[in-house]
Structure 1
Amino acid sequence: MHNPTGPAGQSATALPTPGQSVGIILIEDDDGHATLIERNLRRAGLTNGFTRFSDGQEALDYFFSETSAFAREELPPSVILLDLKMPRIDGLEVLRRLKADRRTASLPVIVLTTTDDPREIERCYELGCNVYVTKPVEYDAFIEAVRRLGFFLQVVKLPAGAR
């Protein structure tokens, strides 16, 4: 089940405000990592709405269900932060399905994972990921990587079709 959150209880499906141009869709099975990611993106100044899925199946159901907010086009432009190692359906399959479907192919996908295997990195880019970020194992380095990602997400601009 996804967990939409935003500033002051604002739903992730709300229309963007001038200070909120890009929604964040976090697909991450580790609750601790998800909390650290959201908390430190907010500390970096990100006020964007967040929607979280704890496995690949939840995410695919969200994107491809006929009744989802995504299908009804009620979401602001969004960026996906995607972990690779997840139960049920892994991140590689989620990436493959998102980039293969014309409705979701333009969504920017940032792979955010502990895997630094060059073959896996290459495979993600072949499947269409836009950015690959390795989560450092050391706590302080992980926090710093997320903070830098937050600064990047504050300035990123998406094409109109990347809803």
Structure 2
Amino acid sequence: MNSNAAPILLVEDNPDDAELTRLALARHGLQDRVVHVSDGMQALDYLYRRDRFADRPPANPSLVLLDLKMPLLDGIGVLREVKSTDHLRSIPIVVLTSSTEPSDLQRAYEAGTNAYIAKPTEFAEFLSAMKHVCEFWVNINQTAPQSAGAGMRSTTFGELN
């Protein structure tokens, strides 16, 4: 995968929501760039190139689409870990969740999200929201270059705060 086609990491535990998001991204020609994981621990494994992702290409994702409510490690935990790690903190993270709770919104921004999108319930509205996400975060936004020190980290769930 070349630098113009960096992956998009989709972190979503609901298979139906994951499929809907993949479909929306496919409408913008991004289907081959999507890497889907179903919980926060898998997201960190991917980002740190651990376990089943140890051999993935070294390029960081150009974007992370992150659900909040997930098993093992929720989206807030993922945000805190990523935004506290030098070689990951510049990755844009867009929270894509069904929660409209003000406390979730506040916690997500405090943890470092770049944007927060409450998933529209109507399919056409969801497609429109994803069109805007794709236009800005994938086509317009300029991401920081990956640091030379990027590499693997062995953080385990017990070490996260």
Q: Where on the TM-score scale, by shorter chain, does this alignment land: which range? A: 0.7 to 0.9
Equivalences, count: 145
Confirm whether residue 155 of structure 1 aligns to residue 140 of structure 2.
Answer: yes
Partner of 1:7: none
Partner of 2:24: 40
Mapped partners of 2:29, 2:47: distance in 1 = 27
Partner of 1:97: 81
- Which region of structure 1 is more displaced relative to structure 2, 46-55 or 79-88? 46-55
Q: Could you say if the C-alpha distance between residues 148 and 32 of structure 1 is closer, same or farther in structure 2, counting changes exceeding 3 Å?
A: same
Q: Could you say if the C-alpha distance between residues 65 and 36 of structure 1 is closer, same or farther in structure 2, counting changes exceeding 3 Å?
A: same
Cα offset, 1:161, TM superposition: 2.9
Residues 126-152 of structure 1 deviation map (CA, whole Å, 9 limit, x = unaligned)? 111111111012232222212222222
* Structure 1: gaps (5+ residues): 1-13
Q: Could you say if the C-alpha distance between residues 66 and 121 of structure 1 is closer, same or farther in structure 2, counting changes exceeding 3 Å?
A: same
What secondary structure, in the 3-state scheme, does the structure 1 residue paired with 2:3 have? coil
CA contact (8 A) 2:97 2:119 kept: yes
TM-score when scaled to structure 2? 0.78
TM-score when scaled to structure 1? 0.77
Greater fraction helix? 2
What value does the CA root-mean-square deviation take over the aligned residues? 2.3
Q: Which runs of 4+ in 1 moved over 6 A?
A: none
What percentage of residue pairs aligned between the two structures are identical? 34
Confirm whether residue 16 of structure 1 aligns to residue 3 of structure 2.
Answer: yes
Confirm whether residue 50 of structure 1 aligns to residue 39 of structure 2.
Answer: no
CA contact (8 A) 2:9 2:61 kept: no
* Structure 2: gaps (5+ residues): 151-161
